[in-house]
Structure 1
Amino acid sequence: MSLAPRAVLVHRTTEYEELVAHHGTHGQAAFFLSTRGRDIEEVADRHHRTRRALAEVTAAIPLTWRQATVERADLDRFLFAPEDVVVVVGQDGLVANVAKYLAGQPVIGIDTDPGRNPGVLVRHRPADAAALLPAALSTGADELTMVEAVADDTQRLVALNEIYLGAVGHQTARYRLGLEDDGGAVEAQASSGVLVGTGTGATGWIRSVWQERGTGLRLPGPTEQRLLWFVREAWPSPATGTSLVAGELPAPARLRLTVESEHLIVFGDGMEKDALELTWGQSVSVGACGQRLRLIG
């Protein structure tokens, strides 16, 4: 007998909750914010909107379904199951945070603060949940491209927006960079890191670098099997070059970086605390990931 579907609600602790936990009381948190020229009522209002959204989505879960709730900080310890329907209640970035832990489960993004969030990934309102949840089992979904980094010691990292490779603190990283399997150049570089991003990431960090560079590269779409990569602030010297600083990675092409520093890290979607750690002589391969994020449109 097959298991009933499970709705997994993903959320994050609100700024108001973090403030009260840190300062002890609402009044102490209000005083702290007032010294910074902020009003706690605006923060509390966003907290209440988030809580109402969570309650509305919870109430919309079909009675025959199972349900679970997971906070962002606990995602790396939560076991998602094949029959799950994942409902992200919050901001666009929270969808990116959960994407790396999934294996094809449909995702519904619920925007708790329309007008404040771009709504690229959280495309729906809490009132839509009653119709979206049962439909998620049979309806089509956008298959968003993801990026992966695989180290030579089998460490692996997956991200929805972008992967950063560089030094802790974004200081000078030393490495050798080249494209795999094309017989082309491999260049020794010193830079503040390498950024490899997807079409979904083209609304964020990758886009900002792309705009500054003014290259002729075309930004990929979210479902395109094509990535862009940029070297940040490459430094020319007698021992390091700047000829390989940007390009495309159409699948299955991959970028290879070999570490020539004592310690480099690889992290995805801004989550620097969840990083791969590499040492001198190790190599890492970066390219489009075989798995996709199935986002309900």
Structure 2
Amino acid sequence: MSLAPRAVLVHRTTEYEELLARHGTHGQAAFFLSSRGRSIDEVARRHERTQRALADVAAAVPLQWRGSRVERADLDRFLFAPEDVVIVVGQDGLVANAAKYLAGQPVVGIDSDPGRNPGVLVRHRPGDAAALLRAAVTPRGRAEELTMVEAVADDTQRLLALNEIYLGPPGHQTARYRLGPDDGATAAEAQASSGVLVGTGTGATGWLRSLWLERGSTPVLPAPSDPRLLWFVREAWPSPVTGTSLVAGELSPGQGLRLTVESDRIVVFGDGMESDALELTWGQTVRLGIATTSLRLVI
């Protein structure tokens, strides 16, 4: 007998909750903001809207289903199961934060504060949750398969991301490494830079787009479902032993970018989650390419 689906509600601590955790009471938080020319009223209203959205979505979960909740900070310790239906209530970025821990489970994006979020990944309102949950577990349900990027180190560490993966120094330093395609046809180049960014079509509205615009790049930005990645080296500089000839490119299925560390430490993290990063040391190699896993976004 198969298990009933489990609805996993992913959310993030609100600004109001963070203020209370720091200042203890509503009054003290209000005084802190007012002394800086701000009001707590709008922060509290956004908190109330988020709580209503969470309550409405929780009420839409079928009675025969199991349920669970996980806060953003705990995602790296939460064990997702194959039968889960993941419901993200919050901002677009929260979908990306959850995506790296999934393995094909359907994801429903619910906008908790319409008008403040772009709504690229959280496209739906709390009132749509019941229909979306039904669609998530029926064969006729529609879902977009969004391309993801992965980094696989030579010690088998693996990192997934929905928007982009960044490789670089842990602070305001210079990363030294060798970079090149993993097909062996082009020799790797020794480089010194502030890091390397590899992004997807979903990430083409953020950090990847800013680099693309800055460079005036020829390749067209990919769409979220395109099996294509773009990569850029940030602020590479030439020296007698480092070059700048391989600073941008495109990766299709089966193609990879290989980086070999030539400094004490390089960190690799996805979608801005520095707290859950790979750490690579001198001599280690990491390969970047299109992930075999994609994000199933229910529509």
Shorter-chain-normalised TM-score: which range?
over 0.9
Q: 2:219 aligns with which of 217, 220, 239?
A: 217
The structure-2 alpha-carbon separation of the partners of 1:212 and 1:37, relative to structure 1 and needing over 3 Å to count, comes to farther
Match of 1:96 in 2: 96
Q: Deviation of residue 122 (structure 1)?
A: 0.3
Match of 2:229 in 1: 227
Distance in 2, Cα, partners of 1:217 & 1:35: 49
The CA deviation string for residues 189-245 of structure 1, in whole angstroms up to 9 with x for no partner, is 100000000000111110111111111121011111100000000011111111111
Match of 1:79 in 2: 79
Distance in 1, Cα, partners of 2:187 & 2:39: 56
Match of 2:18 in 1: 18
SS in 2 for 1:9: strand
Distance in 2, Cα, partners of 1:56 & 1:181: 51
The CA deviation string for residues 129-163 of structure 1, in whole angstroms up to 9 with x for no partner, is 11111111120210001000011111111111000
Match of 1:246 in 2: 248
Please tell me whether the aligned partners of residues 145 and 222 of structure 1 are also in contact (alpha carbons under 8 angstroms).
Answer: yes
Match of 1:28 in 2: 28
Q: What stretches of structure 1 of length at least 5 have no aligned partner?
A: none
Distance in 2, Cα, partners of 1:67 & 1:53: 16
Please tell me whether the aligned partners of residues 147 and 197 of structure 1 are also in contact (alpha carbons under 8 angstroms).
Answer: yes
Match of 2:208 in 1: 206
Q: Deviation of residue 185 (structure 1)?
A: 2.8
Q: Deviation of residue 170 (structure 1)?
A: 4.4
Give 1:183's aligned amino acid: A
Please tell me whether the aligned partners of residues 260 and 281 of structure 1 are also in contact (alpha carbons under 8 angstroms).
Answer: yes
Q: TM-score, normalised by structure 1?
A: 0.98
* Bigger shift: residues 169-178 or 89-98: 169-178
Distance in 2, Cα, partners of 1:142 & 1:292: 9
Please tell me whether the aligned partners of residues 170 and 193 of structure 1 are also in contact (alpha carbons under 8 angstroms).
Answer: no
SS in 2 for 1:168: coil
Distance in 1, Cα, partners of 2:172 & 2:258: 19
Matches within 5 A, 1:101-250: 101-138=101-138, 139-250=141-252
Q: Deviation of residue 89 (structure 1)?
A: 0.3
Please tell me whether the aligned partners of residues 176 and 257 of structure 1 are also in contact (alpha carbons under 8 angstroms).
Answer: yes
Distance in 2, Cα, partners of 1:209 & 1:33: 36
Please tell me whether the aligned partners of residues 135 and 298 of structure 2 are also in contact (alpha carbons under 8 angstroms).
Answer: no
Please tell me whether the aligned partners of residues 90 and 111 of structure 1 are also in contact (alpha carbons under 8 angstroms).
Answer: yes
SS in 1 for 2:146: strand
SS in 2 for 1:202: helix
Q: Deviation of residue 35 (structure 1)?
A: 2.9
Give 2:274's aligned amino acid: E
Match of 1:270 in 2: 272
Calculate the aligned-residue CA RMSD, in Å.
0.9
